[in-house]
Amino acid sequence: MWIKKYWILIAVAAVIISSFALGFHNASIYAPNHGFDGSGHVYYIQYLAQHKSIPPPTEWETHQPPLYYIIGATVMTIFGNFRSVHYINIFVLWLIIGMVGLALKRVFKDTHQVLLGMLSLAALPMLNIFPAMITNELLSTFFIISTAVASLFLLYAKNKKQLIQYFCWLALSLVLGIWTKVSIITILPTVAVAALIYFIKHKQKRVLIFILGLSTIILFAAVAAPVFLRGAQSKGPSNVLKTVSQIKQAPRDPSFYYRLDWIPKVDMYTTQYYSLLGGAWNSFFNDGHNVITPFIAFHKKAFILWSLGFLLLPLSLYGLWQLWKKNKEASFVVNTIGVSMLAMYVLYNMMSNHYSAARLTYEMAIVIPYAFGIAGAATNKKMKIFLLGLLSIQFIILISFYWILSWWNVTK
């Protein structure tokens, strides 16, 4: 009887425990130099820990802002070994899920919808390939999402005190974000849209919001300047300014945006190199770059995860339409996140045909509209049960498929 009464709490606890178990297991055997540019991130943290200063921006990844690496060096110093750094992103993953949950709770009053939206992220392969790695991508995503959620909360500010509090939250997220990775600039359109909506709707607070907005812009510009100046000194190929200069030198082939030959191939591993539709879809829902799982031409678990995306994405889009009908202001902000992330993705692929451009790594805040869509689709009991079933299958398969085995190449 008590199980029936507390089944939601039991289910939530099971998901959290399983997720942390996966994260701690993988982090305990994942080789530091694996992952996206792993050796560069490792060098940065070790340099900070040894020299107690930021390295010159002349080596691979050392042009990056220092916040993640300072945290990593601090953790390494406290615990006395580098393995401890691997556990940071396990907690960051759940900070992301919790932050999105906070936004969902602000918009949706139904607890089931909120929990389904959070489960959609806990079960999302795109996020779960990062916790074991040494990388600043996940922490950067957290601050981008925190900025987006603060922007969403602006819509609900009832008085001057709340308005100031939300702007402080927004400004702090921007500052910490730009000192983690320059990807924070991808969320600026969303901030502008949220501030504009509030400015138009609340005539009596226009002077205050103008002052707060201008102050935030000045603060962000001040803290961003040294980050971009440091990046400009980089001699590495990942310098953002040099990437921009490649826009006329290495554009993506136009067929990248419309080819569909990945469908009959059931190509779950290499589509990201030649197709936007197959590649972005794949990298969003599965480990298309084989960062975690070993290269296998066909795997039943991978196929299940890959196939579930074709069900969950349309359901999420349906949910976003439901949200638009019920709450246009919140929907506008959430949809701005999705549209701007997709626009940044296309722009980056126009700028460079490098394989990393085809990943959605730099636009991971797109998980916000995805989660809102899943929550919005849960409009009745049958839909809630259906979504719970799909997400439970995805979560269970993900745990099983991503559980790193000792013979995998990423442990060496």
Q: Please give the residue that has the higher pLDDT: either 358 or 149.
A: 149
Task: Name, of 118-122, 124-128, 247-251, 340-344, the range with top average pLDDT.
Answer: 118-122
Residue 137 has pLDDT above 70, yes or no: yes
Q: Please give the residue that has the higher pLDDT: either 187 or 255.
A: 187
Residue 51 pLDDT level (bands cut at 50, 70, 90):
very high
Residue 254 has pLDDT above 80, yes or no: yes
Tokens encoding 149: 């959620």
Residues 267-288: what's their mean pLDDT? 71
Please name the residues in contact with 409: beta carbons below 8 A apart, sequence gap of 6 or more. 34, 294
What is the percentage of the chain residues whose pLDDT exceeds 90? 64
Provide the pLDDT for residue 189.
95
Task: Name, of 54-68, 207-221, 259-273, 344-358, the range with top average pLDDT.
Answer: 207-221
Provide the pLDDT for residue 237.
43
Provide the pLDDT for residue 184.
94
Residue 243 pLDDT level (bands cut at 50, 70, 90):
very low
Residues 249-262: what's their mean pLDDT? 78
Give per-residue burial for 83-121: e unless 16+ CB within 10 Å, then b. Answer: eebbbbbbebbbbbbebbbbbbbebbeeebbbbbbbbbb
> Residue 45 in contact with residue 73, Cβ under 8 Å?
yes
Residue 20 has pLDDT above 90, yes or no: yes
> Residue 389 in contact with residue 121, Cβ under 8 Å?
no
Residues 289-315: what's their mean pLDDT? 82
Residue 191 has pLDDT above 80, yes or no: yes
| Segment among 14-23, 267-276, 321-330, 399-408 with least mean pLDDT | 267-276
Please name the residues in contact with 67: beta carbons below 8 A apart, sequence gap of 6 or more. 136, 139, 176, 179, 180
Provide the pLDDT for residue 259.
85
Residue 122 has pLDDT above 90, yes or no: yes
Provide the pLDDT for residue 306.
83
Q: Please give the residue that has the higher pLDDT: either 102 or 129.
A: 102
CA distances from 362 to 23, 127, 341, 358 (A): 22, 12, 9, 10
> Residue 363 in contact with residue 279, Cβ under 8 Å?
no
Neighbours of 168 (CB within 10 A): 13
Residue 235 pLDDT level (bands cut at 50, 70, 90):
low
Provide the pLDDT for residue 188.
95
Picking from 147, 149, 168, 134, the residue whose alpha carbon sits closest to that of residue 64 is 134
| Segment among 158-162, 168-172, 335-339, 348-352 with least mean pLDDT | 348-352
Residue 310 has pLDDT above 80, yes or no: yes
Residue 359 has pLDDT above 90, yes or no: no
CA distances from 129 to 5, 281, 295 (A): 34, 15, 15
> Residue 41 in contact with residue 366, Cβ under 8 Å?
no
| Average predicted confidence (pLDDT) for the chain | 88
Per-position DSSP letters for 289-314, written without gaps between them? T-SSS---S--HHHHHHHHHHHHHHH
Picking from 283, 281, 274, the residue whose alpha carbon sits closest to that of residue 254 is 274
- pTM comes to 0.93
Please name the residues in contact with 388: beta carbons below 8 A apart, sequence gap of 6 or more. 116, 119
Alpha-carbon distance of 26 to 129, in angstroms, equals 10
Picking from 138, 66, 164, 144, the residue whose alpha carbon sits closest to that of residue 103 is 144
Provide the pLDDT for residue 161.
94
CA distances from 376 to 10, 121, 315, 405 (A): 23, 14, 9, 37
Provide the pLDDT for residue 247.
43
